[in-house]
């Protein structure tokens, strides 16, 4: 399986850092190659231009930006979804990883 690039977006890019760590740990335990990173909503455009993103997950605090991001990735085949609030709050890396992989079709 080729490396998957999973982008998380939150308000400041910091509240998702622990979630990214837990998702990376879950990916490693499963033998998945994954580049999982978090950006603030302000920095997201730069990453979308410079990285080959497979899926974009929004933190619950920026769910209102979903349509904006869907427009930004239109035609690129990048699924956009909001992270489940309970999984986000519980920092459930494996569940959020599962959701990302499901959106990619893995």
10 catalytic per annotation: yes
Catalytic residue among 6, 10, 34, 57: 10
CA dihedral of 95, 99, 102, 104, whole degrees rounded to 10: -130
Measured between alpha carbons, how far is 104 from 6 in angstroms, rounded to an integer?
9
Interior CA angle at 20 toward 80 and 17, to 5°? 105
Measured between alpha carbons, how far is 3 from 10 in angstroms, rounded to an integer?
23
Residues taking part in catalysis: 10
């Amino acid at each position: 399986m080729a490396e998957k690039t999973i982008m998380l977006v939150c308000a400041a890019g910091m509240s998702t850092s622990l979630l990214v760590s837990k998702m990376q740990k879950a990916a490693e335990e499963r033998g998945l190659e994954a580049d999982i990173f978090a950006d603030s909503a302000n920095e997201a455009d730069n990453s979308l231009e410079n990285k080959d993103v497979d899926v974009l997950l929004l933190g619950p605090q920026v769910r209102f930006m979903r349509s904006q991001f869907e427009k930004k990735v239109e035609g690129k085949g990048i699924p956009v979804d909001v992270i489940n609030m309970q999984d986000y709050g519980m920092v459930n890396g494996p569940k959020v990883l599962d959701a990302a992989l499901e959106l990619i079709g893995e």
